[in-house]
Amino acid sequence: MSAVPFALLALAALALGYRFYSRYLAERLFGLRSDEPVPSVELEDGVDFVPTERHILWGHHFSSIAGAAPILGPAMAIVWGWVPALCWIVFGVILMGATHDFGALVLSMRHGGQTVGALTERFIGPRSKVLFLLIIFFLIWLVGAVFAFAIAGLFVAFPASVLPVNVEILLALWIGWRGYKGKGSITLPSIVALIGCYLLIFGTATGHLWVPAEGTLLRSKDFWLVALMVYAFVASCLPVWLLLQPRDLINSHQLLVGLSALYLGFFLSNPTFVAPPLGELSALPALFPVLFVTIACGAISGFHGLVSSGTTSKQIACARDARPIGYGAMLCEAALAVLATMAVACGLWSGEGGHLHAWNYLDASVHSAVQEGGLPLPQVGQALQAFVNGAAGFLATLGLSLAVAKTVVAVLVISFAATSLDTGLRIQRFVLAELGGVFRVKALENRWVAGGIACGSVLVLIYADYAAGAKSLWPVFGATNQVLAAFTLLICALYLRKLEKPTAAYIIPALVVLSITLCAMGYQVLHDLAAERWLVGGVGSIIAVLAVWVAIEGALAWRRPPGAPE
């Protein structure tokens, strides 16, 4: 069965969602105006609050949310079959995921760029702020560990990606400094940097430029895990204009070019499905509710609300930009999730062992895990390698050699995972500062101290789950992520209720997502504790208790009459 018609239907549904549903949200519910005051102008400080052109900010926001998760989630969830994965991605993102991102951005923008933690205190109550901040802390803690595993594994598996990725970071620093000194727009230099990145990819993949040799330090996963935390510490503390904005602009160009090329190769190759429409492995966890939290960011992500309120709302220069940035960028991420599903479900993998399909490799790794008594899911590294190889098969249709195609895809995935990594840890710095204010720990309000604690704690979690390769962390991350999304949707509903506007677009998704994820969290915690995964099970248990507590606080807040003071 050809996969092309299903991909076309999915993309058409996403386009219709933007054309009609996002317009309803922007105009009828929130009433966005071009002349609204925005915090980037009123609170401009040159570090976090910086008015930014729409296309540059779109690039930052898109790059920050479109990390490895919309690839990893579908690549792991494909074990339940491509039909449920595609359905949840498309309908979930239109009615819930993009709606969530857009609402979080608008609320933060209208409340001085406050994070969702501070908004929780405003709309639910003072107790809920600390509970919510703790949930956010655990979420970003998990994000940091999972993405670090993903990047380190790809650097080791695809060493030709090392030079292009790291040179891109240096170029971004130069472009950011150049733009800050007022030497013109950073858009053209970012395009030149992207071209240079592709030239480096061609050089390393073909053996004409340096590639780390086998057995050296740069082919060690441990080296990259530590190096990534050092990088994230520095990057999360630098001003947004120096690295965050220029690097994300380069990455947004990279993803748009890469996504377009991958879809073109996909359509030209006209592949057929190899993965089954429904999962066939009897040892799989229950499709409901575990599938939904496994796909995670491909459909809806609480982490995106942290980006919307943590960095994007502090840079938006015009209120009406919130629609293309908040809602539109999430639809583009869903397009990436659809492609990830197709790459693993029908992508051809040609390697040293001959020709096979990405699904065959992934299926074999899952069966191997089951035989060894482990979770019937692939490791993070295995899922990403299946995607890289499957997607590279699409690019090879355009005439690229497989070596170059694999490196192009690997660099794309690493770049976006690194973006989410340091954006997440920047937000973690804000969270620790807020907790420092609550508990009167002045040191946490210092960005270097908070940044060091954020990155150091991730290293602890990495080595606590080193043997599992983040496999056991992913379901806990997904459940925590969705719980956070449900509460952000609830905050948006409470805001609309205060304005005496219709709330169904937010309260219904909030209840659906909360119900699914609390069930998934309970299911996962019980399994982790039964398997004696004490750290992961303990973290999941703490998050579950916090989530139920915030849910009760939210229900009490909903009882307040419409129009009541915050």
Alpha helix locations (H) across 280-349? Answer: 287-295, 302-310, 322, 329-346
Per-residue confidence (pLDDT) for residue 473, from 0 to 100: 76
Sorted by where each begins, the domain ranges of the chain are 35-558
Task: List the Cα angle 403/175/449 in 5-degree steps.
Answer: 95
Residue 547 tokens read as 């989530």
3-state secondary structure of 209: coil
pLDDT category at 491 given cuts 50, 70, 90 is very high
Q: Specify whether the backbone of 182 is left (phi greater than 0), alpha (psi in -120 to 50) or beta.
A: left
CB 69 within 8 A of CB 299: no
pLDDT category at 376 given cuts 50, 70, 90 is low
Of the candidates 234, 132, 245, 242, the one whose C-alpha atom is nearest the C-alpha of residue 447 is 234
Per-residue confidence (pLDDT) for residue 353, from 0 to 100: 46
Cβ contacts of 44 within 8 Å, gap of 6 or more: 50, 51
Cβ contacts of 281 within 8 Å, gap of 6 or more: 79, 366, 367, 370, 376
3-state secondary structure of 350: strand
pLDDT reading at 370 higher than 60:
no
Cβ contacts of 459 within 8 Å, gap of 6 or more: 225, 226, 229
Cβ contacts of 282 within 8 Å, gap of 6 or more: none
Q: Which residues of 1-36 are buried (b: 16+ CB within 10 A; e: fewer)?
A: eebbebbeebbebbeebbeebbeebbeebbebeeee
What distance in Å separates the CA atoms of residue 444 and residue 433, rounded to the nearest whole number? 5
Cβ contacts of 430 within 8 Å, gap of 6 or more: 115, 310
Q: pTM for the complete prediction?
A: 0.86
Helix (H) or strand (E) holding 474: helix 473-498
Task: List the Cα angle 444/100/60 in 5-degree steps.
Answer: 60
pLDDT category at 339 given cuts 50, 70, 90 is very high
The pLDDT tens digits of the residues spanning 156-213 come to: 989 999 999 999 999 999 988 888 777 677 788 888 999 999 999 999 999 999 999 9
What distance in Å separates the CA atoms of residue 537 and residue 532, rounded to the nearest whole number? 8
Inter-CA distances, 332 with 63, 66, 268, 511, Å: 11, 9, 21, 25
Place of tokens 């802390």: 137
What distance in Å separates the CA atoms of residue 566 and residue 562, rounded to the nearest whole number? 10
Per-residue confidence (pLDDT) for residue 248, from 0 to 100: 78
pLDDT category at 70 given cuts 50, 70, 90 is confident
3-state secondary structure of 336: helix
Give the fold, CATH level 3, of 35-558.
Answer: Amino acid/polyamine transporter I (1.20.1740)
What distance in Å separates the CA atoms of residue 252 and residue 53, rounded to the nearest whole number? 14
The C-alpha R_g of the chain, in whole angstroms, comes to: 22
The pLDDT tens digits of the residues spanning 452-484 come to: 999 999 988 888 766 665 666 777 888 888 888
Instruction: Compute the half-sphere exposure of residue 65: CA atoms within 13 Å on the CB side of its CA.
Output: 42
Per-residue confidence (pLDDT) for residue 20, from 0 to 100: 96
pLDDT category at 245 given cuts 50, 70, 90 is confident
The pLDDT tens digits of the residues spanning 38-47 come to: 998 888 887 7
Per-residue confidence (pLDDT) for residue 352, from 0 to 100: 46
Residue 25 tokens read as 């949200």
For residue 374, the Cα-to-chain-centroid distance in whole angstroms is 26
Q: Specify whether the backbone of 440 is left (phi greater than 0), alpha (psi in -120 to 50) or beta.
A: left
For residue 42, the Cα-to-chain-centroid distance in whole angstroms is 29
Cβ contacts of 125 within 8 Å, gap of 6 or more: 553, 556, 557
For residue 122, the Cα-to-chain-centroid distance in whole angstroms is 26
Comparing 266-270, 357-361, 519-523, the range with the smallest average pLDDT is 357-361
Amino acid identity of residue 16, one-letter, is L
Per-residue confidence (pLDDT) for residue 557, from 0 to 100: 86
Residue 133 tokens read as 């901040």
What distance in Å separates the CA atoms of residue 165 and residue 418, rounded to the nearest whole number? 10
Per-residue confidence (pLDDT) for residue 386, from 0 to 100: 83
Of the candidates 539, 491, 506, 502, the one whose C-alpha atom is nearest the C-alpha of residue 115 is 491
pLDDT category at 328 given cuts 50, 70, 90 is very high
The pLDDT tens digits of the residues spanning 111-148 come to: 998 888 788 888 888 888 888 888 888 888 888 888 88
pLDDT reading at 315 higher than 70:
yes
Average pLDDT rounded to a whole number, residues 280-288: 68
Highest mean pLDDT among 139-143, 337-341, 536-540 belongs to 337-341
What distance in Å separates the CA atoms of residue 379 and residue 376, rounded to the nearest whole number? 10
Residue 438 tokens read as 């609550």
Of the candidates 250, 205, 208, the one whose C-alpha atom is nearest the C-alpha of residue 392 is 205
pLDDT reading at 311 higher than 90:
no
pLDDT reading at 366 higher than 70:
no
Q: Which residue has the higher pLDDT, 376 or 137?
A: 137
Average pLDDT rounded to a whole number, residues 263-282: 84
Residue 296 tokens read as 């995670």
pLDDT reading at 373 higher than 90:
no
Per-residue confidence (pLDDT) for residue 553, from 0 to 100: 86
With 0-12 CB in 10 A as exposed, 13-18 as middle and 19+ as buried, what is 443? Answer: exposed
Average pLDDT rounded to a whole number, residues 507-517: 92
pLDDT category at 294 given cuts 50, 70, 90 is confident
What distance in Å separates the CA atoms of residue 179 and residue 525, rounded to the nearest whole number? 48
Beta bridge partners of 350: 355
Mean residue pLDDT of the chain comes to 85
Average pLDDT rounded to a whole number, residues 288-302: 86
pLDDT category at 374 given cuts 50, 70, 90 is low
Cβ contacts of 186 within 8 Å, gap of 6 or more: 56, 175, 176, 178, 179, 245, 246, 249
Of the candidates 170, 241, 161, 230, the one whose C-alpha atom is nearest the C-alpha of residue 408 is 161
Task: List the Cα angle 169/411/292 in 5-degree steps.
Answer: 110
